């Protein structure tokens, strides 16, 4: 299947700083990428849908000014957690769909574990 | 979006078939049933999907009832590496996945 990478795999930062997470589709061009957040022992929660060349669509309750998403190319989407606080500590996962595939399965990155001190 | 019901946890002996059920009684006619799994601290992995016919691939088989209100994922010869949380997700054309609690499958030696 298609490969999606994320960088970094884990990051520890101080409260008030900003953190950028990169999501790359390695062997296909992804017109749509998705960002999820997962708290311990919970399921994935969709944060936003990122479309190349246009503004991201955020789910209800997700602050767009706090979670900045940029999808400037067909292989890269970035999520920036601005002014991070301890409650933002979570497992952040991106996924992408390959428009060249007939079906809609999504390919997931390995996730980024964010810890805010 | 259709809601799903899955047992919270299941055990299976290594080498035996693992059968994971899912109820999706409100699924709409154009929604496929997708199955993903998530091994601890990793990103989810696509397993299989189907609309109304049974499907099989190198990872698993998917049995969908004729009324499409439920399905069963079958891992034919479970290994310890199949220990994970398994999610059944109806998905339509908007590509969005709504994740339920899934089934935590534990494969025991």
Query: pLDDT for A84-101, tens place per residue?
Result: 999 999 999 999 987 777
Rounded to whole angstroms, the Cα distance separating B76 from A109 reads 27
Structure tokens at A102: 């007939």
The long-range contacts involving A48-56, CB below 8 angstroms and separated by at least 24 positions, are A49/B95, A49/B96, A50/A77
Strand residues in B2-108 grouped as ranges (E): 9-13, 18-23, 32-38, 45-50, 55-56, 61-64, 70-75, 84-91, 103-108
Is residue A116 a contact partner of residue A10, using CB atoms and an 8 Å limit? no
CB distance A34–B96 less than 8 Å?
yes
> Could you report the per-residue pLDDT of A39-59, keeping only the tens digit for each?
998 999 999 999 888 889 999
CB distance B42–A110 less than 8 Å?
yes
| B102 three-state secondary structure | coil
CB distance B95–A105 less than 8 Å?
no
pLDDT digit string (tens) for chain B, length 109 residues:
558 999 999 999 999 999 999 999 988 888 899 999 999 989 999 999 999 999 999 999 999 999 999 999 999 999 999 999 999 998 876 677 888 899 999 999 9
Nearest CA in chain A to B51: A103
Instruction: State how far residue B16 is from chain A, nearest Cα, in angstroms.
Output: 26
């Amino acid at each position: 299947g298609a490969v999606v990478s994320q960088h970094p795999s884990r990051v520890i930062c101080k409260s008030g700083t900003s953190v950028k997470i990169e999501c790359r589709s390695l062997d296909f061009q992804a017109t749509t990428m998705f960002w999820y957040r997962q708290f311990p022992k919970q399921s994935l929660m969709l944060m936003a849908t990122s479309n190349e060349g246009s503004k991201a669509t955020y789910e209800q309750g997700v602050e767009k000014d706090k979670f900045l998403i940029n999808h400037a190319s067909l292989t890269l989407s970035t999520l920036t957690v601005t002014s991070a606080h301890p409650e933002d500590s979570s497992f952040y996962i991106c996924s992408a769909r390959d428009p060249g595939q007939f079906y809609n399965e999504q390919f997931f990155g390995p996730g980024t574990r964010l810890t805010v001190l | 979006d259709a809601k799903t019901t899955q047992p919270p946890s299941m055990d299976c002996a290594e080498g035996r078939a693992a059968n994971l059920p899912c109820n999706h009684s409100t699924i709409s006619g154009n929604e496929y049933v997708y199955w993903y799994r998530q091994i601890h601290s990793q990103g989810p992995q696509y397993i299989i999907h189907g609309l109304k016919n049974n499907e099989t691939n190198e990872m698993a088989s998917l049995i969908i009832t004729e009324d499409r209100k439920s399905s069963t994922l079958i891992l034919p010869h479970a290994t310890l590496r199949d220990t994970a949380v398994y999610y059944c997700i109806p998905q339509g054309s908007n590509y969005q996945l709504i994740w339920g609690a899934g089934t935590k499958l534990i494969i025991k030696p």
